[in-house]
Amino acid sequence: KQEVTQIPAALSVPEGENLVLNCSFTDSAIYNLQWFRQDPGKGLTSLLLIQSSQREQTSGRLNASLDKSSGRSTLYIAASQPGDSATYLCAVKRFGNEKLTFGTGTRLTIIP
């Protein structure tokens, strides 16, 4: 059974700093991995999707990396802004199974 873990559960950093969020998964037979953002009272917004054959994806100030062999992914946020404050969730999808397995999320607070 796939288990997805995100540590830390909460993180506070001053505005302008670069930061890294971590995601680990137990079963490396994944098809892809996605990073989502969730704002309070709102649904999830997909940020980046990395296929199993890829090692990283970039979108603006966000960069996600994937190391399948070690069961890890990181989300790097450059030059953090107060608007980046949200909960960030990673989710993995297995081959032959459309279901996404989510981590518990990291609640990020950027301090102005």
Which residues here bind another protein, judged by CB under 8 A?
4, 31-32, 34, 41-46, 49, 89, 91, 93, 95, 97-100, 102-105
Least Å from the CB of residue 72 to another protein? 17
Least Å from the CB of residue 17 to another protein? 25
Task: Report the amino acid identity of residue 57.
Answer: Q
- Using the Cα atoms of residue 67, residue 25, residue 89 and residue 112 in order, give the sign of their dihedral: negative
Q: Which is nearer to another protein, 13 or 100 (CB)?
A: 100
- Which residues are within 8 A (CB) of 76 and not within 5 positions of it... i.e. 6 or more apart? 18, 19, 20, 62, 63, 64, 65
Least Å from the CB of residue 20 to another protein? 19
Q: Which is nearer to another protein, 10 or 78 (CB)?
A: 10
- The Cα–Cα gap between 112 and 103 comes to 27
